[in-house]
Structure 1
């Protein structure tokens, strides 16, 4: 079984940066057997029904503005993974989770920034998956658990962010790597509960975690973590591979769940 991953995608400029976090991500996939496909849940695709992106060839979505021109020139020519997408749909249906195939949507930056760091040659087919922020944490986890059989030869990735509050960013602290105290407090609480696989506390993070409202003002970036974790419910092993901060409180973390490939 392949491990599953949660990867914070940060700001779009992460695609152009060289720092301890990007260096870690560039090494993650190189230490694993080449997967049949990547199934990536992106925080930037929201839908009340679970959607699975399965075009033959993905186009690009530049879902941001005001960033350096170089970002808008990046093309990540990912091929779709329609067969794996159908397998995912069937597993979700079996678990009582309605899902539909989408053959038209391209890659948003929550997908292509991460994929470009993991597989720079774009030589692994991709299926993207939407998130539904309205679902409670236990149902997010159940989505991942339903897809666990795909870890046999595919890689499940949740792309989002644990501390993601754009209003709290200190733009003068782009690369110092040092966190605001409140952001670190939230991530430290999260690390303890995840390493101990304390789903009871994790499902109640909004009321139990310190500074939860500041760290997660809206949960679309947080739920990919629960989904990726759920896909390793049979292993119940969690390991944080990297924790880095930008702008004081933009948390860049990479979590590995299940079988270790590192």
Structure 2
């Protein structure tokens, strides 16, 4: 069966408050969901599904809603996104990854973390598209995550939409620090401008070695988990596809909520 070759997308999911607060970014998520051809299934790479060791793939028939955050208003803990799982797709993804040398485990008990269900709630509110989530590993390099995406990229031709959900800047200590660095906003802007430029240029080497090449990389990402879904998505894109900056906004002065896509109609 022929399917539309799906685009592939990186989004910044921001604070869990996004689920109850409308913003430019939630409006963007809604527009994305309406503009993308309906996928056969969705593969999520979330910053919050961070697993050391083998790559973990959700394989349940249904995926529960994980409220993996603390100290937020009660309504956030009442939001549910009961997604359909895709066990057959999980098996196929696992086979593709093993064929490319990855160790893989399937888990039919793991649900969706907020990095996955917050954007999905806005993009696909009818919850009628099967979803699997594939783990990142903060102990592995950006290059390894790029290869992870490459191994799975053929699924785009089978109607699968890849979404990487992280945050293009994610220094929470700086966000909440009382004695904030007066240069912090500048450091965030320079870094996010650099990423946008490299995505548009399809500079794979620069993105995969961002810690060495990007200005203020360590400031914007004290830990790599919110960046690593980006090289996953870059890996799923075709060598002929330059990236597009689809959305740019900032929350709490320092949390950049930029989104990038490959394979979108210009």
TM over 0.5: yes
Q: Any conservation in 2 of the 1:131–1:224 contact (CA below 8 Å)?
A: yes
Aligned to 2:105: 100
1:77 counterpart (56, 75, 82): 82
Q: Any conservation in 2 of the 1:163–1:216 contact (CA below 8 Å)?
A: yes
Tell me if 1:164 matches 2:183: no
What are the within-5 Å matches in structure 2 for residues 93-172 of structure 1? 93-152=98-157, 153-169=159-175
Q: Aligned pairs, how many? A: 255
Aligned to 1:214: 219
Q: Identify unmatched segments of 5+ residues in structure 2.
A: 179-183
SS of the residue corresponding to residue 21 of structure 1 reads helix
Task: Give a deviation string over 1:41-89, Cα, whole Å, max 9, x none.
Answer: 1111122211111211111211111111110110111010111111111
Q: Any conservation in 2 of the 1:183–1:211 contact (CA below 8 Å)?
A: yes
Distance 1:185 1:247 in 2: 17
When the two structures are superposed, what TM-score results if normalisation uses the length of structure 1? Answer: 0.93
When the two structures are superposed, what TM-score results if normalisation uses the length of structure 2? Answer: 0.92
SS of the residue corresponding to residue 63 of structure 2 reads coil
Task: Report how far residue 185 of structure 1 moved.
Answer: 0.6
Task: Report how far residue 236 of structure 1 moved.
Answer: 2.8
Aligned to 2:181: none
2:17 counterpart (13, 18, 33): 13
SS of the residue corresponding to residue 168 of structure 2 reads coil
Task: Report how far residue 90 of structure 1 moved.
Answer: 1.2
Task: Report how far residue 171 of structure 1 moved.
Answer: 8.7
Report the aligned-residue RMSD.
1.6
* 4+ residue segments displaced more than 6 Å: none
Q: Any conservation in 2 of the 1:160–1:220 contact (CA below 8 Å)?
A: yes
Aligned to 2:46: 42
Q: Identify unmatched segments of 5+ residues in structure 1.
A: 173-178
